[in-house]
Amino acid sequence: MSAVPRSIGLVFDDRFLTHDTGLSLIEDRTPYPFSKPVAHPSSPELIGRAKQLMDLAGITDRMTRIEPYTADDEALLRFHTRDYLDRLAVLDKTGGDTGSGAPMGPGGLRVARLSAGGVMAAVDAICAGSVRQCYALVRPPGHHAMPDQGMGFCVFNNVVIAARHAQAAHGIRKIAIVDWDVHHGNGTQTAFAADPDVLFISVHQDSLYPSGWGAVDQIGSGPGEGSTVNIPLPAGSGNATYRAVFERIVVPVLEAFEPELIFVSAGQDASVADPLARMTLTTSAYRFMATAMRDLAERVCQGRLVVAQEGGYAPAYAPYCSAAIAETLVGAGEGPVPLIEPYGDYDGSIPSNAWIGLDAAAALQAVFDMHASRWPLEPPDRFVDAAHE
Ligand code: ZN
């Protein structure tokens, strides 16, 4: 017998790196025409470095390569409108903004289709039984994309399209989507707000982006009421709060829901170094979140877990968080070169990584108050107690 069976898939393709987001300034140049733009935050450098780190640490070698394919109109139209696809076909010749802050260069449409098809390919590989879990390290990201427009760096909503693909092509009915990107997954929430078969849980920085989305009282509508769980956290929340969120809310709710397939919308922009948000997670948080999701998938749905790349904008740090997720899936500490935490024992120097602040405890209490009648959440006093443990 030769190699150890590799049951963790990886979707990656160099073509993802050709998605051109150009240069940017936070605001337009009107009052300061001399100011020099910098690289767009959603640059190819982020997932390119993540892949390189995974290569150097021997993680890629322990994964099964899953080839992405081009999502066709039928797949895209399960969420997006025909009018949007028609507009994109025109825009593809020149490049430009696909909607609201989601630029692509000329020819970018094929990359966006490949990104959506990459997450679909991950679903196919898992449903075929060739891998148990899969990390889709795709680009552009997806969770902000709305039916009729791109938004927030996202052109197509990759996870929504892949979830609908799982239902249409593989006979899966109940799906859970956990979105730990620091921004709210407004496009995903829109897709499934009225759908009781798809549970959407978003953990995000409160009132960040997009404006007006992700409040705790957005719980779905009609037959989907209660199957949207928003967990908005105050800026500055760290590893301790995220651990409580997963142990006391995300995992119990998913266990009760009993999905047949789990997606993670994995943005690594809640990291301590991210320029677009104000959370303080380190690589160890991404390890325990990935562990929690993998173990949960093993318990409730034969291991079926798709981790789909979303945001993450700290060029020197987010790639370590992404690679830590992949290493967790394949087995940390078992590779030839252990992946390090680049800041060393940084967790311990950040108070919010050891303590749940009172503002974060209040945020968790609000989630409990909103959802305890529907889901088996831990009693609220535990949240407060944890601030003093
Ligand atoms: Zn984000």
pLDDT tens digits, 333-375: 777 788 989 988 888 889 999 999 999 999 999 999 999 999 9
Confidence (pLDDT) at 387: 52
Question: What are 162's strand-pairing partners?
Answer: none
Banded pLDDT at 70 (limits 50, 70, 90): very high
Per-residue pLDDT at 276: 96
Which pLDDT score, from 0 to 100, does residue 336 have?
Answer: 79
Identify the three-state secondary structure at position 299.
helix
Ligand 1 centre distance from Cα of residue 125 (Å): 26
For residue 210 the two structure tokens come to 């997009």
Catalytic, 40? Answer: no
Chain centroid, CA 106 distance in Å:
26
Beta strands in the chain (DSSP E): 8-11, 23-24, 38-39, 64-66, 96-97, 99-100, 103-104, 133-136, 150-151, 175-179, 198-205, 228-233, 261-266, 305-309
For the ranges 208-217, 227-236, 351-360, the lowest mean pLDDT is seen at: 351-360
Centre of ligand 1 from the C-alpha of residue 142, in Å: 10
Closest CA to 192 of 210, 179, 205: 179
If you average pLDDT over every residue of the chain, what do you get? 94
> Binning pLDDT at 50, 70 and 90, where does residue 148 land?
very high
Q: How far is the CA of 360 from the centre of ligand 1 (A)?
A: 20
The residue type found at 304 is: R
Name the nearest CA neighbour of 263 among 294, 296, 308, 227: 308
In tens, the pLDDT along 39-63 reads: 899 999 999 999 999 999 999 999 9
Which entry of 143, 144, 184, 371 is annotated as an active-site residue? 144
Instruction: Report how far apart the first and last C-alpha atoms of the chain are (Å, whole number).
Output: 50
Q: How far does residue 166's CA lie from ligand 1's centre (Å)?
A: 24
Question: What separation in Å is there between the alpha carbon of 183 and the centre of ligand 1?
Answer: 4
Question: Is residue 279 pLDDT above 50, yes or no?
Answer: yes
- Say how far apart CA 229 and CA 189 lie, in whole Å: 9
Using alpha carbons, select from 351, 353, 268 the residue that is nearest to residue 317.
268
- The band of 23, judged by pLDDT with boundaries at 50, 70 and 90, is confident
Cis peptide before 252 (omega within 30 of 0): no
